[in-house]
Structure 1
Amino acid sequence: MRCPYCSAPDSKVVNSRPGDDGSAIRRRRECLSCARRFTTYERAQLEPLMVVKRGGVRQAFNPDKLLRGLTLATEKRPVSAETLRAFAYGFEDEVQAPEIDAREIGKRAMTFLRPLDDVAYIRFASVYRDFDSLERFIEEIQGLKEQDDT
Structure 2
Amino acid sequence: MKCPKCDYLDTKVLESRVSVDGRSIRRRRACLKCHHRFTTYEKEEELILQVKKKDGSFDEFSREKIIRAITMACRKRQISMDQIEAMVTAIEAQLRSEGDRVIQSSKIGDLVMKKLRQTDHVAYVRFASIYKDFKDPEEFVRELRGLKTNRETPTPGNNPPTN
Normalising TM by the smaller chain, what interval? Answer: 0.5 to 0.7
What is the CA deviation profile of residues 94-134 of structure 1, one whole-angstrom value per residue up to 9, with x for unaligned ones?
21211110011000000011111110100110110000111
- Per-residue CA deviations over 1:55-87 (Å, capped at 9, x if unaligned) read 111111000000000001111111121121122
Measure, in 2, the Cα distance between the counterparts of 1:112 and 1:118: 10
Deviations 1:33-72 (A, max 9, x none): xxxxxxxxxx976231010000111111000000000001
Aligned equivalent of 2:57: 57
Structure 1 unmatched ranges of 5 or more: 1-16, 25-42
Q: Which of 106, 109, 112 matches 1:106?
A: 109
Pairing partner for 1:141 from 141, 144, 148: 144
Hey, what's the Cα distance between the residues in 2 that align with 1:113 and 1:90?
Answer: 12
Q: Give the distance between the partners of 2:150 and 2:74, measured in 1 at CA.
A: 21
Q: Aligned-residue CA RMSD in angstroms?
A: 2.1
1:127 is aligned, of 119, 126, 130, to: 130
Identity of aligned residues (%): 35
Instruction: Choose 1 or 2 for highest CA Rg.
Output: 2
**Does the 8 A contact of 1:73 with 1:124 survive in 2?**
yes
- 2:7 corresponds to which residue? none
Does the 8 A contact of 1:53 with 1:101 survive in 2? Answer: yes
Q: State how 1:1-150 maps to structure 2 within 5 Å.
A: 18=21, 46-95=46-95, 96=98, 97-150=100-153
Structure 2 gaps, min length 5: 1-19, 25-42, 154-163
Compute the TM-score of the two structures, normalised by the length of structure 2: 0.63
